[in-house]
Structure 1
Amino acid sequence: MARKKQYHWGIIDKAKNKLIGRTGFIQWNLEHERTEIGFALSRLYWNQGIITEATRLIIEYGFTHLGFNRIEGRCSYNNAGSARAMEKLGMKWEGILRGQLKMKGEFVDQRMYAILRDDFDSVNNSSTL
């Protein structure tokens, strides 16, 4: 099974010429034509649409240039900001992965989201993602 680990793009505050976050693909699975997105942003820049804007380009690149059929995303169950960002990207909530990660000694639930190439094409043909 052909896999790649991670591929990230930095997010820069142009005015300060400072790295403020990253977005990209993690855990590529070329055999099944899917990947998972991952993103992080400095708290000072939250709720400004930055992650949504940057990750929208990554999703488009994944479908149009890399040939993915499915792009997944996960976030901690209580992370409403990341969940909202994935919904704004056209990703659909698929369910809860119970006890999926161990963080600080505790098992935590994760929300699972995904967008398929067909979803992307439908949205893109009627408007911008």
Structure 2
Amino acid sequence: MTDKEIPTLTSSRLILRALTLNDAESIFEYANNEAVAKYVFWEPHQTIEDSINFVSQINKSDELMWGIQLKDNPKIIGTCGFITYNSITKCLTIGYALNQNYWTKGYTKEALSMLIDYAFNNLDTIRIEGICVVDNIASEKVMLSCNMEFEGILHDNFIKGTDIHDCKLFAITKRNYLANLKK
């Protein structure tokens, strides 16, 4: 990805913003939950120090990761962003996690929609991909609701502990994104 600037993005209910070390407590609140960590690459946070290290690593990495907060509350309820970028294919890969207390309210869809819009209008990208473990129906629904199309199964693509999982691949291209805007 280009430079590391994380702009603040807003919707009717959410603010997406850069993470700071002050967010570690809010992140720990959900990152220590086994249900939240079940389908992500990181293990549940055991201490607040794990969450502090998470924020530090994100801010030092090439990832563009936003904290998700409600407009009326500065507490971070999740994260979403672009975890990889291939400059040759101009493809971004998305990732997200949300505090279980806020599941099924449409916040992840709202955040992901903002990121897709931001990427296609501001970054040098023509494709955004996301994967989810085959059993992660909630994540699948989020990507489908953001007009990402199912493209296939990636066999033995995700390892969590000693378990190996197949994943579903979803993507949206800039061409299809623009075509959907005209509808």
Higher Cα Rg, which structure:
2
Q: TM > 0.5 between the two?
A: yes
Match for 1:57 among 86, 103, 114?
114
| Distance of 1:87 and 1:23 partners within structure 2 | 16
Residue 117 of structure 2 aligns with an amino acid whose one-letter code is E
**TM-score, with structure 1 as normaliser:** 0.90
**TM-score, with structure 2 as normaliser:** 0.65
Question: Which is further off, 14-23 or 53-62?
Answer: 14-23
| Structure 2, gaps ≥5 residues long | 3-60
Partner of 1:95: 152
Partner of 1:121: 178
For the pair 1:84 / 2:141, whether they are aligned, the reply is yes
The two structures, once aligned, show a CA RMSD in angstroms of: 1.5
Residue 65 of structure 2 aligns with an amino acid whose one-letter code is H
| Distance of 2:124 and 2:65 partners within structure 1 | 18
Q: Structure 1 residue 16: deviation in Å?
A: 3.9
Partner of 1:48: 105
Percent of aligned positions that are identical: 32
When the two structures are aligned, how many residues end up with a matched partner? 124
- Name the SS for the 1:32 alignment partner: coil
For the pair 1:18 / 2:66, whether they are aligned, the reply is no
Q: Structure 1 residue 12: deviation in Å?
A: 1.1
Partner of 2:126: 69
1:23-64 CA deviation, whole Å, 9 max, x = no partner?
110111122111111111011111111011111011011111
| Structure 1, gaps ≥5 residues long | none
| Distance of 2:71 and 2:162 partners within structure 1 | 38
